[in-house]
Amino acid sequence: MPPSRALVASMFDRPLFDLVLEAALVHRAHHDPSAVQWSTLLSIKTGACPEDCGYCAQSAHFDTGLPREELIDVDAVEAAARRAKEGGSTRFCMGAAWRRVADRDMPVVEEMVRRVKGLGLETCCTLGTVTESQAARLKQAGLDYYNHNLDTSREHYGEVVSTRDYDERLATLDRVRKAGVNVCSGGILGLGERREDRVGLLHELASLAEPPESIPINQLVPVPGTPMAGKAKPVPWTELVRTIAVARILMPRTAVRLSAGRESMTEELQAWCFFAGANSIFTGDQLLTTPNRGIDADRFLLASLDLHPS
């Protein structure tokens, strides 16, 4: 039975210490609380995306100064994945700036997945919309996870994106799930949303037929030239912690990924997030086209908190 939206809202309204304590206990019941998975994200096709997501540097609708790049070479992807594994990552994610993946590009993407999987890494792709047959082909190639974020609540979504509707995103998640690929879907905080929209996002994810195996929680990285850079305001740090804690309680077995925006977070805030149930990070100098904390900084942070890469 999925939770009611009113229940999710009441969880957000709880005293912060009570909420985080419950989330920490749920986390310990289902995960190793000292382990944090390291993931690496690589842009395999950059820029000129036809979508108008108001936060994205890669949209063709905005002038962000980002050069357009074609689909990169399979050997380059394999080399990047090998470096990521040597650096401590156990998952390698490949992202392409497409509205939908074209059939003509599928053989190359499938080979990328096979090569990365062959290194012993978990594989993840975010390629936009996929058809049922494409999802099946990715599964056969060895894809473990498919990322397709909902971004925000259904009610607020139109303020962020106009070129794709909410149900299209949910349909892609359904196709991926039916193909036997794990679902990775989350959202972004700082898009001008209210708490009610954060409630709506988590309620939507927790109400899927099966909860996502992976939920990235991002903080907006304002990119000059994008609409969100000029009007979005950072959410209070307590709202980030609350969102992670509620996600952990609602979806106990899910990996909650502390994703974009970490380079602007203090070490103390990241510690709160780990205590509240976050158990995965993206490491490396860049996330697609936005800055990220480096590996050395992450090693220092985890060591100072007595945590270790899983």
Active site residues: 49, 53, 56, 93, 124, 184, 257
* Residue 119 to residue 82: CA distance in whole angstroms: 7
Give the distance from CA 19 to its chain's centroid: 23
CB 284 within 8 Å of CB 84: yes
- Residue 171: partners with Cβ closer than 8 Å, 6 or more residues away: none
* Residue 92 to residue 213: CA distance in whole angstroms: 16
- Residue 109: partners with Cβ closer than 8 Å, 6 or more residues away: 44, 94, 96, 101, 125, 127, 138, 141
Instruction: For residue 69, give the nearest of 93, 44, 94, 105 by alpha carbon.
Output: 44
Two structure tokens written together for 307: 């945590």
Please report where in the chains the tokens 């998975």 appear, as a residue.
37
Please report where in the chains the tokens 């609602």 appear, as a residue.
250
Which amino acid type is present at position 35?
Answer: A
Antiparallel, parallel or unpaired: β 286-287 and 290-291: antiparallel
